[in-house]
């Protein structure tokens, strides 16, 4: 469809005006639209930020089909444009759209390499807690309550350590 | 901030396994912290926080025990020339040199380790060694990564592995690469075919300075394309195997040239030496092409120079190094004259 004003360029802007209940529609090209309705000139930044404002209002929820990272506000569309994610949490919040893409480009979906030392440590602490719980049961069965109390305190301490470190994604 | 710009990087030593074809080996690990947005989305104060965290981590014993003394260089305190020099020595990426904002690089004393801060990812741990030494590079980077990982909270999840700004690096965050010198395959017009075959088995081929740069002087970078679903050892084994195959084919091509075109290689190397030793105007492009021929002469044993000397020259002919050496900014023509003089004197001394 050609622009209704200049009849030369393709119409890319659809303007609907309702004045006093009278509805009028216009199909314009980008240039004519800018001339006639300067406030309409399309700004991607404004568009995105208005979208983000909308999303951050909890009552409205997500707009149709638009996934957004709840931590940094990046949308999947933004990611597609710039090719970079906003924060580590994007992997979780945009998973439904990101995961197929990762499977396609990497031809795999599960990590099989090394694990950070800190997580290894957490795993080790979890195992240690399990071991101490068994020991606690044994000590209680043997009625060695003083020793059992020590072990119980140690378990509490380790559990506290895990909690204080927080959960890494 | 004073940059020790004349210092020789470890990779420039040149000698090592398969050094007749493989110039250097690089391991790069992309790492991010879990509590900060990725660099493209950081505020200036978050960038500064990242740098502070890295700076305190590299002072810990468990880190220096692995990497030796590490120095953090704030890139905003360097001149454009000094930043470009770090690119010319392959210690930082062209993107990081161009970037505005709070960026930094951490260097070990032998410049084998370089850690880019706030590039595409929070940390890019790199180990750059001469010749084919991917396994050694991996062992070193792995140890440094372990040590840093005890000081910093890496973004990691058990399914996706290390989380990176670009999903093409997710998983291991590992990019292993080698710089190979393929004049034989280029002269026998086999390079295109051989390199295309590599891309079909998951290996990417790039130019001299990595992503988005063109191949100059018959130098190519080959690297793994996939970072997820394989262990680091598997990725490195695959790339090593490809580099070995490539080295084999390059040697066969050189042998073929020797047999089918007597004196062709000798003549080429001799002419290159002649121009380099006696020319008065030398562009960096011409210099690189001639040094490529010279390197072939050293690698095939009929030029009494060392690969280390060639590597030194490869860096010294670069625009920023020249301008730092002569202590002033120069226009391209002045550079071409100074470059020719530097090379003449270097070869006279080396002879």
Asked if B200 has any chain A CB less than 8 Å from its own CB, the reply is no
Domain ranges of chain B: 10-252, 262-350
pLDDT, position B109 = 96
- Closest by CA to B173, choosing from B221, B220, B121, B209, is B121
Which residues from chain B sit within 8 angstroms of residue A107, using beta carbons?
226, 229
Please, which pLDDT band fits residue A117 given cuts at 50, 70 and 90?
confident
Q: Which of A14-28, A61-75, A113-127, B180-194 holds the top average pLDDT?
A: B180-194
Q: What is the DSSP string of B6-31?
A: TPPPGGGG--STTTTTEEEEEEEEEE
- Closest by CA to B110, choosing from B221, B236, B4, is B4
Alpha-carbon B221 to chain mean position? 9
Chain-chain contact of B120 with A112 (C-beta, under 8 angstroms): no
User: CA–CA separation, B92 vs B105, rounded Å?
Assistant: 7
Which residues from chain B sit within 8 angstroms of residue A82, using beta carbons?
40
Alpha-carbon B16 to chain mean position? 16
pLDDT, position A20 = 65
User: CA–CA separation, B182 vs B227, rounded Å?
Assistant: 26
Which residues from chain A sit within 8 angstroms of residue B32, using beta carbons?
88
Q: And the tokens for A87?
A: 């924060």
CATH T-level assignment (fold) for domain B10-252: Creatine Kinase; Chain A, domain 2 (3.30.590)
Which residues from chain B sit within 8 angstroms of residue A48, using beta carbons?
none
Give the nearest partner residue to A87 out of B38, B162, B230, using CB atoms: B38
Give the burial class of B28: count Cβ atoms within 10 A of its Cβ; 0-12 exposed, 13-18 middle, 19 or more buried. Answer: buried
List the single residue in B with minimal CA-CA distance to A85.
Answer: B165
User: Stretch A99-121: mean pLDDT, rounded?
Assistant: 89
Contact (CB, 8 A) for A42 and A35:
no
User: CA–CA separation, B30 vs A166, rounded Å?
Assistant: 23
Asked if B38 has any chain A CB less than 8 Å from its own CB, the reply is yes
Alpha-carbon B235 to chain mean position? 19
Residue the block writes with tokens 């454009």: B80
User: Stretch A113-124: mean pLDDT, rounded?
Assistant: 83
- Shortest Cα distance from A113 to chain B (angstroms)? 4
- Closest by CA to A10, choosing from A26, A27, A22, A23, is A27
User: CA–CA separation, B6 vs A156, rounded Å?
Assistant: 56
pLDDT, position A56 = 43
Count of alpha carbons within 13 angstroms of residue A59, beta-carbon side: 0
Global pTM reads 0.80
Please name the residues in contact with B61: beta carbons below 8 A apart, sequence gap of 6 or more. Answer: none
Q: Is the dihedral of CA B149, B153, B157, B158 positive or negative?
A: positive
Chain-chain contact of B146 with A117 (C-beta, under 8 angstroms): yes
Chain-chain contact of B155 with A168 (C-beta, under 8 angstroms): yes
Which residues from chain B sit within 8 angstroms of residue A115, using beta carbons?
156, 158
Please, which pLDDT band fits residue A3 given cuts at 50, 70 and 90?
confident
- Closest by CA to B198, choosing from B169, B159, B239, is B239
- pLDDT (tens digit, 0 to 9) for every residue of chain B, 351 residues total? 678 888 999 999 999 999 999 999 999 999 999 999 999 999 999 999 999 999 999 999 999 999 999 999 999 999 999 999 999 999 999 999 999 999 999 999 999 999 999 999 999 999 999 999 999 999 999 999 999 999 999 999 888 999 999 999 999 999 999 999 999 999 999 998 999 999 999 999 987 666 666 678 999 999 999 999 999 999 999 999 999 999 999 999 999 999 999 999 999 999 999 999 999 999 999 999 999 999 999 999 989 899 999 999 999 999 999 999 999 999 999 999 999 999 999 999 988
User: CA–CA separation, B48 vs B30, rounded Å?
Assistant: 19
Give the nearest partner residue to B157 out of A86, A91, A107, using CB atoms: A91
For the CA atoms of chain A, what is the radius of gyration?
A: 29
- Shortest Cα distance from B265 to chain A (angstroms)? 42
Please, which pLDDT band fits residue A62 given cuts at 50, 70 and 90?
very low
pLDDT, position A55 = 46
Alpha-carbon B154 to chain mean position? 25
- Closest by CA to A75, choosing from A46, A98, A58, A59, is A98
Q: Is the dihedral of CA B296, B299, B303, B306 positive or negative?
A: positive
Asked if A95 has any chain B CB less than 8 Å from its own CB, the reply is no
Which residues from chain A sit within 8 angstroms of residue B156, using beta carbons?
115-116, 119, 168-169
The more confident residue out of A67 and A43 is: A67
């Amino acid at each position: 469809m050609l622009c209704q004003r200049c009849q030369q360029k393709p119409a890319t802007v659809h303007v609907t005006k309702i004045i006093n209940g009278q509805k009028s529609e216009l199909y314009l090209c980008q240039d004519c639209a800018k001339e006639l309705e300067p406030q309409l000139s399309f700004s991607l930044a404004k568009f995105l930020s208005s979208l983000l404002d909308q999303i951050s209002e909890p009552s409205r929820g997500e707009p149709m089909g638009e996934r957004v990272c709840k931590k940094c506000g990046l949308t999947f569309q933004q990611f597609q444009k710039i090719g970079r994610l906003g924060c580590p949490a994007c992997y979780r919040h945009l998973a439904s759209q990101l995961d197929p893409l990762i499977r396609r480009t990497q031809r795999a979906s599960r990590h099989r390499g090394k694990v950070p030392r800190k997580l290894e440590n957490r795993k080790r602490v979890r195992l240690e807690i399990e071991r101490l719980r068994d020991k606690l049961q044994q000590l209680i069965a043997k009625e060695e309550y003083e020793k059992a109390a020590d072990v119980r305190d140690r378990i509490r301490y380790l559990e506290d350590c895990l909690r204080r470190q927080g959960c890494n994604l | 901030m004073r940059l020790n710009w004349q210092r020789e990087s470890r990779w420039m030593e040149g000698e090592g396994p398969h050094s007749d074809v493989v110039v250097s080996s690089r391991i790069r690990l992309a790492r991010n912290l879990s509590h900060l947005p990725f660099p493209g989305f950081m505020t200036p104060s978050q960038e500064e926080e990242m740098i502070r965290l890295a700076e305190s981590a590299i002072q810990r014993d468990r880190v220096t025990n692995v990497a030796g003394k590490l120095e953090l260089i704030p890139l905003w305190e360097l001149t454009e020339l000094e930043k470009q020099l770090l690119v010319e020595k392959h210690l930082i990426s062209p993107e990081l040199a161009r970037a505005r904002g709070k960026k930094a690089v951490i260097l070990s004393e032998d410049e084998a380790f370089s850690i880019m801060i706030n590039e595409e990812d929070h940390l890019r741990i790199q180990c750059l060694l001469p010749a084919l030494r991917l396994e050694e590079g991996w062992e070193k980077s792995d140890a440094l990564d372990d040590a840093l990982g005890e000081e910093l909270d890496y973004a990691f999840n058990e399914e996706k592995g290390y989380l990176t700004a670009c999903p093409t690096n997710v998983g291991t965050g590992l990019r292993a690469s080698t710089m190979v010198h393929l004049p034989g395959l280029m002269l026998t017009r086999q390079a295109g075919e051989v390199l295309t075959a590599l891309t079909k088995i998951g290996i990417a081929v790039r130019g001299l300075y990595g992503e988005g740069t063109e191949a100059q002087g018959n130098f190519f970078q080959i690297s793994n394309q996939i970072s997820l679903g394989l262990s680091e050892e598997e990725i490195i084994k695959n790339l090593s195997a490809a580099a070995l195959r490539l080295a084999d084919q390059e040697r066969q091509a050189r042998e073929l040239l020797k047999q089918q075109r007597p004196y062709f290689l000798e003549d080429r190397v001799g002419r290159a030496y002649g121009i380099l030793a006696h020319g008065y105007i030398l562009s960096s492009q011409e210099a690189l092409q001639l040094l490529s021929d010279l390197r072939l002469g050293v690698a095939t044993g009929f030029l009494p120079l060392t690969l280390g000397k060639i590597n030194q020259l490869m860096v010294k002919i670069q625009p920023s190094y020249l301008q730092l050496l002569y202590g002033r900014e120069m226009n391209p023509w002045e550079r071409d004259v100074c470059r020719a003089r530097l090379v003449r004197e270097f070869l006279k001394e080396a002879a």
